[in-house]
Amino acid sequence: MEQLLNLIDGELRPAIGGEWLDVYTPATGQVYGQLPDSDERDVELAVQAANRAFPAWNALGREGRSDALLRLAKAIEDDLEGFVADESRDNGKPLSLARRVDIPRAIANFRFFATAILHFHSEAHLMDDVAVNYTDRQPIGAVGAISPWNLPLYLFTWKIAPALAAGNCVVAKPSEVTPLTAYRLSTLCERAGIPRGVLNIVHGLGPKVGAAITAHPKLPAVSFTGGTRTGAEIARVAAPMFKKLSLELGGKNPVLVFADCDFDKAVKTTVRSSFTNQGQICLCGSRILVERSIYDRFRDAFVEQVKALRVGDPKDADSDLGAVVSQAHLETVLRYIDLAREEGGSVLCGGERVRLSGDLKDGWFIAPTVIEGLGPTCRTNQEEIFGPVVTLQPFDDEADALALANATPYGLASVIWTRDGQRTHRVARALQAGIVWVNCWMIRDLRTPFGGVKQSGVGREGGVDALRFFTEAKNVCIKL
Ligand code: NAD
């Protein structure tokens, strides 16, 4: 049985309370190890360590911090296959996906922000002969980071890298459902020359560790990615403390397929945008809206390709989908499929748990599921399912498509399929979303602003936005 440990003040250690939580391999449904069931005492130690480490880390300067983060990126890269295997085992995602996306993007996060900080500049405002103003952007000090289970190391590093690059020290909590790669990262920090206390990783439950990070007065900024309900709870606690908050929350993303699209590309990419990572990416399209004149043709081609997807052992190179992340999540997704049936939806394919054999017989696998026949206001089309389930709805014209697309409380990502350039701009502007992909999906440039509107979040991550979040701007006005 593997025992994972917290990283606090440069030391790998169990929780002060000595309690442990089980961690599971989704593909087998079996416990593989334990993680520290930490509480506010562990967070307190981590916050003290981070605040102690801050002056020296900040004083290292941009280049010193950049070098340290590049060494950490290299250390992950040198252990790529170890990280890939751990991410797949812990999360249930295909090994091939962890190798192609998760781990390379975690490395890229460190490299990107290690170099971005070297180019981070601020503004000067000259008032003719009166005065000159310049903006001094200083790190905040110790900051909190809380991340989810769907892209474990990728989203964990997406916060840690800009926070550290900007000169802060971090108290970070990975998801208790997928703690393994964060633990693996913590074992590399010393070797990579990250000074003790600069990065602290505290494992455990949200209402204990996450809540303690949110409420700690010596963590004046908290960056959170996760569910909308959790985000609301964090805002409820942190807002009256006037903390800086970045909230990246849930989604119910629309995919708008117009009749003039490149049909084959639209079908193929929509299969990918629906079911990559078992549909457990906040950017996955979950409501597919198709212009009525091509609805039947699109549906038939789409369902045919979805039926050909292989649900299988995450270790097999030809598995398209692995397991969903937990028993509880499996049950939630299956309940939503039942709800869709009760609401009058027709299940065109999937709609059930998949039982594999041998070691995988108790694994948490679900067949990719496509549903049609539901209107925009039913719960299936309003609530985030976050699994391998999508719905199809026809639309009549652009206005109808936009009304359907914007008809949820969420506004994270969206996809438009059309060859009409004018329509691209009109629709992209009118979509209530932080991210719009046109004739593609999941192309990511780390310099671009990333985040959502409405109940999908507050603030933006990525590029300059992340470096600005993790710094405080001070205007200095000098009389000429
Ligand atoms: P979650 O909200 O349950 O948990 C996220 C993190 O918050 C975990 O580390 C958890 O332990 C912690 N947490 C739970 N309760 C807490 C509390 N009271 N105080 C502080 N922290 C607490 O989300 P999840 O189930 O891990 O992840 C899935 C959700 O994340 C989905 O809604 C998905 O859309 C969203 N997500 C959003 C983005 C984005 O960029 N917008 C990216 C990935 C995932």
Whose tokens are 């209402």? That residue is: 207
Residue of minimum CA distance from atom 42 in ligand 1: 282
Cα 257 off chain centre by: 25
Q: What's at 431, amino acid-wise? A: L
Q: How many residues are there in the chain?
A: 480
Respond yes or no: is residue 372 known to be catalytic.
no
Cα 478 off chain centre by: 42
Confidence of residue 34 (pLDDT cuts 50, 70, 90): very high
Respond yes or no: is residue 248 known to be catalytic.
yes
Q: Where are the domains of the chain?
A: 2-249+457-479, 253-453
CATH T-level topology, domain 253-453? Aldehyde Dehydrogenase; Chain A, domain 2 (3.40.309)
What pLDDT is recorded for position 336? 98
Question: What does the pLDDT average to over 144-152?
Answer: 98
Residues 6+ positions from 425 with CB-CB distance below 8 Å? none
DSSP at 119: H
Of 23, 37, 175, 213, the one to substitute when testing ligand 1's pocket (max ligand atoms within 8 A of C-beta) is: 175
Confidence of residue 284 (pLDDT cuts 50, 70, 90): very high
**Pairing state between β 353-354 and 365-366:** antiparallel
Question: What does the pLDDT average to over 389-398?
Answer: 98
Pocket residues for ligand 1 (CB within 6 Å)? 146-150, 155, 173, 175-176, 206-207, 210-211, 214, 225-227, 230, 233-234, 248-251, 282, 384, 386, 412, 452, 456-457
> Is 120 a residue whose pLDDT tops 90?
yes
> Is 460 a residue whose pLDDT tops 90?
yes
What pLDDT is recorded for position 146? 99
Question: What does the pLDDT average to over 295-319?
Answer: 98
> Is 469 a residue whose pLDDT tops 90?
yes
164 token code pair: 């550290």
How many angstroms does the Cα of residue 225 sit away from the middle of ligand 1? 5
Task: Write out pLDDT tens, residues 350-377.
Answer: 999 999 999 999 999 999 999 999 999 9
What pLDDT is recorded for position 163? 99
How many angstroms does the Cα of residue 103 sit away from the middle of ligand 1? 20
Confidence of residue 211 (pLDDT cuts 50, 70, 90): very high
Report pTM.
0.98
Distance between CA 368 and CA 388 in Å, rounded? 5
**Right CATH number for 2-249+457-479 from 1.10.150.120, 3.30.70.140, 3.40.605.10, 3.90.1150.10?**
3.40.605.10
Nearest to 462 by CA among 148, 130, 165: 165
Mean pLDDT of the chain: 98
Determine what percent of the chain is predicted with pLDDT higher than 70: 100
What pLDDT is recorded for position 210? 99
Residue 434's SS3 state is coil
Distance between CA 219 and CA 446 in Å, rounded? 26
Residues 6+ positions from 326 with CB-CB distance below 8 Å? 24, 26, 149, 177, 364
What pLDDT is recorded for position 1? 85
How many angstroms does the Cα of residue 249 sit away from the middle of ligand 1? 7
